[in-house]
Amino acid sequence: MFEKIWERHVIAEEEGELLLYVDRALFHEGSSHAFRMLDAGQHGVRRPEQVFAFNDHYVPTHGREKGVAGIANPEIRNMVVNLEKNTKRYGITLFGIDDPRQGILHIVPPEQGITQPGLLMVGADSHTSTHGAFGSIAFGIGASEMAHVMATQTLWQRRPKTLRVTIDGSPGKGVYAKDVILALIAQAGAGGATGHLVEYAGSTIRGLDMEGRMTICNMSIEWGGRAGMVAPDETTFAYMEGRPYAPKGAAWERALDFWKTLPSERGAVFDREESLDAGALAPMVTWGTSPEHAAPVTGRVPDPAQVSDEAKRTEIAAALDYMALKPGMALADIAVDRVFIGSCTNSRIEDLRAAAQVARHGRARVPSWIVPGSMSVKKQAEAEGLDRVFTGAGFEWRSPGCSLCTAINGDQLQPGERCASTSNRNFRGRQGTGGRTHLVSPAMAAAAALTGRLADVREFFI
């Protein structure tokens, strides 16, 4: 599948570098450097109809009634204002702070039909890999590369290696896509896919809805992958049909005919193969400062003294020191100070439904935020009454944005605070200086909210 799409986009080759045609470019408020580069070189935007901008990383998730005027931080307010000016100047579509479709740049394009099978997509964020769930090649790029894409609609790249991960088995109750990808990263390591584009296959992947597939592809970056992909199928087509940017009428039928040719052929050869048994998994949680520091919630904090490799032993000891955890502690006994359900990994409607199913069983014991990934998700959740489920259980219902995942928008942990989070990274200070992050699924996060600890969500289904 990778080769089929990649080869269609190659324009030229020079000294091992390939010039690729880019179908879609996505960026956010933090991409101002790209516009400055365009201005400095007196370049225009080659194909503005194929470039899309989003207010997500820096916008606040509360107090949004006044729009831009309600942003208290002047620096962030200027970023939002400048993005609107620049996109208007170049004729680029902006899903802005006042747009009823506003949301995260990895949530909005799929729900609008901008993301489609067979495309080559780039974004000003590493988690652009999310879009590969539709059978596209999608990866993050830097500001200078984004300026090149906007000016030429092309990009120089080296061909990555290919890695197929076959995931089979039926996940048990309380086990979700987030648990599957965390288990895979724990098994393969944070560098396990370095230099590779990952294709996810197998019965587990075929059984996932699009939201689950996006979660898997989103976190391909966390184990070193260049991008993640899932072959398009009837689940993909059913999700896409009728969306605003999706093909219509005869164009839809032609697109379907093409999309059905994309999956890898039987006998296709990959540079590497890996596998995972999803039927054997339990709900997962991270205990350290890397996504590979993950284990079943039924497990215990590891003891570095039991690790023979010196570098790994030192890494684990440093992680436990930062996380203020002791070897041998039961993971399910770790108390949390806060819960965050949101981010481009887990803020879609299926994620909120899973969290609400748990929230119905009690009341939050710690401050807990629900941050939908887009205004469309927010409106749908409200139409289904999920907001009332959450607020009735003591959760705080917020407006769309990256929020506590990035901690650059006013939403952040205080030093020493411990958070059960549905985001994708648990690095030191990721959610605020001195903050401690435990990555979990939305259902596990809701369970942590109700118990005040890293509880096994399956307790609520018995």
- 177/413 Cα distance (integer angstroms): 26
- 27/107 Cα distance (integer angstroms): 13
Contact 372, 381 (CB under 8 A): yes
Torsion sign, CA atoms 25, 31, 37, 42:
positive
Query: Is the fold of 161-280 the same as that of 290-460?
Result: no
- 445/404 Cα distance (integer angstroms): 14
State residue 401's pLDDT score. 96
Which segments of the chain have a pLDDT < 50? none
Superfamily of chain region 2-157: Aconitase, domain 3 (3.30.499.10)
- Amino acid occupying residue 423: S
Torsion sign, CA atoms 330, 333, 337, 343:
positive
State residue 172's pLDDT score. 95
Contact 258, 168 (CB under 8 A): no
What are the pLDDT digits (tens) for 169-178? 999 999 999 9
- Amino acid occupying residue 228: G
**Residue boundaries of the structural domains of the chain:** 2-157, 161-280, 290-460
Verdict on whether the full-model pTM lies above 0.85: yes
DSSP H or E stretch at residue 284 = strand 284-286
State residue 462's pLDDT score. 57
Fold that domain 161-280 belongs to in CATH: Aconitase; Domain 2 (3.40.1060)
The CATH classification number of 290-460 equals 3.30.499.10
Coil, strand or helix at 257: helix
State residue 424's pLDDT score. 97
Contact 179, 289 (CB under 8 A): no
**CA angle 169–171–177, rounded 5-degree value:** 110
Query: Where are the extended beta strands (E) located within 311-451?
Result: 338-341, 368-370, 396-397, 418-421, 436-439
- 323/418 Cα distance (integer angstroms): 8
Phi/psi of residue 400, nearest 5 degrees? -65, 145
Q: Within 13 Å of residue 234, how many CA atoms lie on the same side as its CB? A: 1
